[in-house]
A and B are shown apart, each in its own frame.
Chain A
Amino acid sequence: MPEEAVHIISSGTVRCARLLSEDGTVVVFKGQMADPTTQIAFRKIWSRHFSLNILDALDLDPADNIREFLTIKEGDFVSVGEQIAKREGRRKLSVTAKASGRFLGISANRLIFESDPVDIESRVAGFPGVVTDIVNNRGAYLETSGSYIKGLWGNGKCGQGILLSIDMEKNNGIFDLDSISVDLAGAVVFANTCTDANVLKTAAKMTPGGLIFGSLPSYLLPVAVSLPFPIIVTDWIGTGKISNPVHLTLGENIIKFAYLYSDNSASGKLIRPEIIIPQDEYIPEKENPLNHLGIGSQVRIIEGFYGGELGIVVDILPGNDENSDNTEIAPDQVKICIDEETYVTLPKNNVEVINLKS
């Protein structure tokens, strides 16, 4: 069905839905700050199932109740080498996992395991914002202040970068080989259209943050889909100029940070791509040590004797304030445990919080 009518917000509250096409699992809460990569909701399946016969390994009779010999419960995850079942008594026997997986249940005296979970549908935030509403089992609404354009077609990729424009006076604003320069690297660039597949492929070498076109001929869409960066068409499939409202909105936000969101993962449903340009400069939460540092944070020491070492913050020591007797204001300090025997105290600014992805 057609989407709702609001397609352009030149400046104001931007509210974006991140909803699954069907019921799934929502993993954010109301009021949560979301990064562009924060997962909002997903639908998951376990894509591979395999069975294991433990009767022979435990020398059991088919009439035996194999549940009595299991050391795992339904729903447990087992890793390679982990014990699954054992037999006590004179002949002690045990069975260990030869592959990792989740124990699903028993069928015909065989243990059924499942592995390789895949998201059949997933929604990420795509821009920094606050979760303002949760839709049960479907996803959430996120909000920020800034500009917003709902496009027509996207190549299914998300990305971001400083928003730039090509010279619209030159060559009718068509994105061509002359438009490709080092400035394109990491930037989101908008143009009226592009008519040459080679230009798009060449642009990919500069690793742009994304491209926005007013229109794009249908024969270029497969090329656009194959490229690793986001491409959004705002107005029309074909060849023509970018529409005035879109041009104005983008033009007012030159050199601001723009987020391109395009998601084609929903089963058969067309989801319009979005361009979100938050009003304020965004500092990713996870990269801002001042906001996030606390006891237990994992940090990297930036410089000095222990420069490069990783450690855990065990204490935060407040610095002197202006009323103290010291003439110099000492900054906040942090006490860091590098290993069992090594503790160092350093200025808070000399460490950075790191988030190792598990």
Chain B
Amino acid sequence: MLYVDIGSVNTRVCLFDRMDDQYSFIGAASATTSGDITNQFEYLNVIQAVEKLEHATKRKILDRNQNIVMPATFDHSGIDQVAVSYTCIPDPRIAVMGLTHAGSLQNVYDLLSKVGVKPVAEICAEDGKTVCENLDLFLHTAPRIVIVSGGTEQGAEIGIYRLGEILMLACRSLPKEQRPIILYAGNSAAKKQMERVFSQITDISFSTNVLESGSGVQPTLNGLINVLRKDLESRAPGFRILREKTKCSVIPGEFAFGRTIRLMSRLIRQNRHILGIDIGAHQTILADAVNLALSLHTLPLGIGNNIGNLLNEYTPSDLQSWISFQIKSAEIQDYILNKSYYPDLIPANKYSAEIELALARAIVMKGIENESLSAMLSDGSLAMVFLSGAVLRNVEDPGEALMFAMDSLAPVGMVDYLLDMNGLSGGIGTLAHLNPVLASQIMSTSAYLNLGKVIRPSVRGEPPGKSIMTVSVRDDAGNTRKYDIPFNRIYRIPLEYGKNYELEWTKISHNVTVPGVKTWAPAGFKSGCFGLVFDTREEKDGKIKLPKEKAARDKKLQSWRTELGPWLVKQEEESHA
């Protein structure tokens, strides 16, 4: 099984093999995503990555004509299945048309949230705009896809034709090459008439009515994915070659990542959230799932070709905040712009690595300004954070990734942190429908690095003394140790990776709570590589409080990193308390 992720900077391939009904991860390789429309570069980049994979795994996957051998042969050459996700062609520019905001358009918005897309234009019959106003709005946004919705079954029909008239005029206004693809998801009574008119003008597809009672948006999702693929193949013909040659399924990376997080929400307790963060070169995806319900947010900010957008959101001096060495704001601005022009640059020293992680913090802090996300960070309902993206994967020490998450999210309560070390984040979501066995096995095995459990209490007012709580940790053998947790620092209790422990809350100060945690009962847990971490740093407006003065701030940042310590620490070593 070959899983391919075509990103805007790198094309990554991951190989899985099945032995005795058990899948195992064999290896991964990457090639730079580069080229232009004339040479079907997406396909060629995949082949380049597979060549590297062959070299790394000593397996034969390509034949002498550089085609992927399918299906696999008895001598273990080739592969049986290919699944592809992509983020290299962002922003399909979707316009939505509907009869009512609360009805059809709301359902279309729900549908689009599954793939992390925000529409570029909305035309609603309720708004009372003239045809000319709607045409101006529509044409200025130059949508590539239009979703037409409205009317329940046996419901409104004339209103649909009015929308259709606007769309027809808009299509006529454009040369044939610039006309959008249409997805009709409205009252099926109008389907015949829509097909008659639009099939001669542009490409039209049909899916089930988004307002069909009881069905929700799920049946329409397949129609949307198909239309997105159609648009993708017209913009990047290499995908068509890839699909035709490998019979693979191709789905948007945002959707794949969202589905991964949604499925992972089954692994945690009911009514607790899992937050997935995928920092790409072009965009950042924030996926929040609880009880299999997903909320997906994409930010047009990344650590590659879209890093320049950070300068629209922050001043360079704001971006200095999380850098612990002396650097001029102009140098940060230079770094950002150079990175936007050389998105495949890899930080070659600890300074540039720190700059990138500081910029990643700024991106995530911008992302969690969204109301629905910020609520779960402050009420203790967040149980797990899943970190993904090359900027986090390529850190020298996973502690950098953990610090990044603790600094930028600062969630109160008890939160587990997972790091996607192998770039498999979209894998589960992509493979889920194609090979559910493999998807479930990736989830149940240790394909992701468990960084550890971080407990961040909520402290009201001045803390009573140096220690805000006392806890005891008991291992499998029954050995118990007590720890006094100090205020305003990071306190790490190193534990043996992968072992089971039990945490007991011995004493908690009266003005200290741990939201979302039953502190009257012991909590069992499996240790991550950083053991148990208490983050009692002061906060202001939900964010970690940093000293205003640069020198003091640098010192503080360095001391926090020292307090967390390196990845490999012997259990016997005391933390730096």
Binding site for B on A (CB under 8 A): 1-5, 17, 19, 22-25, 43-51, 74-75, 104-105, 107-108, 110, 112, 114, 120, 133, 135, 137-138, 141, 152-153, 217-219, 221, 236-238, 268, 270, 272
Contact = CB atoms under 8 A, between A and B. Distances in A.
B130 A1 contact: no
Contacts of A238: 331, 334, 338
Interface stretch (B135-143, B346-354, B545-553, B567-575): B135-143
B36 A45 contact: no
Contacts of A110: 131
B175 interface: yes
B235 A22 contact: yes
Contact of A138 (B37, B91, B336, B337): B37
A45 B174 contact: yes
B203 interface: no
Given A49-B136, A104-B169, A4 B305 contact: no
A46 B173 contact: yes
A4 B37 CA distance: 12
A343 to B, nearest CB: 44
17 contacts: A1-B33, A1-B88, A2-B33, A2-B34, A2-B342, A5-B34, A23-B178, A25-B177, A47-B139, A49-B132, A49-B136, A107-B166, A137-B177, A217-B330, A221-B337, A238-B334, A238-B338
A23 B37 CA distance: 11
Given A17-B36, A45-B174, A51 B132 contact: yes
Contact of B136 (A1, A19, A48, A153): A48
Contacts of B34: 1-5
Given A2-B34, A4-B35, A24-B175, A112 B169 contact: yes
B463 to A, nearest CB: 43
Contacts of B38: 17, 133, 135, 141
Nearest to A138: B37
Given A153-B337, A219-B333, A268-B91, A23 B177 contact: yes
B8 A270 contact: no
Contacts of A135: 37-38
A45 B446 CA distance: 53
A237 B139 contact: no
A322 B342 CA distance: 63
B404 to A, nearest CB: 25
B337 A237 contact: yes
A104 B171 CA distance: 10
Nearest to B89: A1
B494 interface: no
A27 to B, nearest CB: 11
Interface residues of B, number: 45
A50 B174 contact: no
B172 A2 contact: no
B338 A236 contact: yes
Contacts of B37: 19, 135, 138
Q: Can you list the 9 inter-chain pairs with the closest CB atoms, starting with the nearest?
A: A49-B132, A23-B177, A218-B333, A237-B337, A238-B334, A49-B135, A137-B177, A107-B131, A45-B139
B9 interface: yes
Contacts, number: 116
B234 interface: yes
A105 B140 contact: no
B165 interface: yes
Nearest to A141: B38
Contact of A24 (B33, B140, B177): B177
Contacts of B91: 268
Given A22-B144, A104-B169, A237-B334, A44 B175 contact: yes
A74 B172 contact: yes
Interface string B116-148: 000000000000001110011001101010000
A270 B339 CA distance: 12
Contacts of A221: 337
Nearest to B300: A268
B241 to A, nearest CB: 16
B177 A105 contact: no
Nearest to A41: B177
A47 B136 contact: yes
B135 A112 contact: yes
B340 interface: yes
Contacts of A137: 177
Contacts of B234: 23
A351 B35 CA distance: 48
B157 interface: no
A110 B133 CA distance: 14
A3 B341 CA distance: 9
B178 A237 contact: no
A109 to B, nearest CB: 11
B173 A45 contact: yes
A2 B140 CA distance: 28
A51 B139 contact: no
B258 interface: no
A51 B144 CA distance: 26
Contacts of B175: 24-25, 44
A51 B338 contact: no
Listed residue (B35, B91, B334) with the most chain A CB atoms within 10 angstroms of its CB:
B334
Contact of B131 (A4, A51, A152, A237): A51
Contacts of A114: 135, 173
Contacts of A43: 142, 178
B344 interface: yes
B86 to A, nearest CB: 11
Interface in B317-360: 330-331, 333-334, 336-338, 340-344
A270 B173 contact: no
A24 B132 contact: no
Nearest to A233: B341
Given A23-B177, A24-B175, A217-B330, A2 B343 contact: yes
Nearest to B165: A107
Contacts of B130: 51
Nearest to B34: A2
B177 A270 contact: no
Contacts of B131: 49, 51, 107-108, 110, 112
A221 B340 CA distance: 14
Contacts of B333: 218-219
A104 B168 CA distance: 10
Listed residue (A108, A137, A219, A237) with the most chain B CB atoms within 10 angstroms of its CB:
A237
Interface in B141-193: 142, 144, 165-166, 168-169, 172-175, 177-178
Contacts of A22: 144, 178, 235
A237 B337 CA distance: 7
A5 B342 CA distance: 11
